[in-house]
Amino acid sequence: MLPVRGGSEHFHAHPSDAQTIAKGTRVVVVEYYPPRTVVVAEA
C-alpha cells in the first residue's frame, strides 16, 4: 500500500536488487511501471 492523492493504493512491488525486504519495512519507490508495478529499495 502506498499513499497516493490523499488516499492509498495497492501496487505490485519488486525489490531493486536481489534482496528480500521484510513486510512492514519502509521503502522508497525507485521506478514505476504502469498500471500497478513499482520497483522499491529500503529507505
**What pLDDT, in 10s, does the model give residues 14-31?**
999 988 999 889 999 999
The cell for 25 is 519495512
34: DSSP letter: T
pLDDT band at 4 (very low <50, low <70, confident <90, very high): confident
Amino acid 18: pLDDT:
86
Percentage of residues of the chain with pLDDT beyond 70: 100
Share in percent of the chain as helix, strand, coil (round to 5): 0, 55, 45
Residue 12, C-beta contacts closer than 8 angstroms, at least 6 positions apart: 36, 37, 38
pLDDT band at 33 (very low <50, low <70, confident <90, very high): very high
The cell for 8 is 492509498
**In terms of DSSP H, where are the helices of the chain?**
none
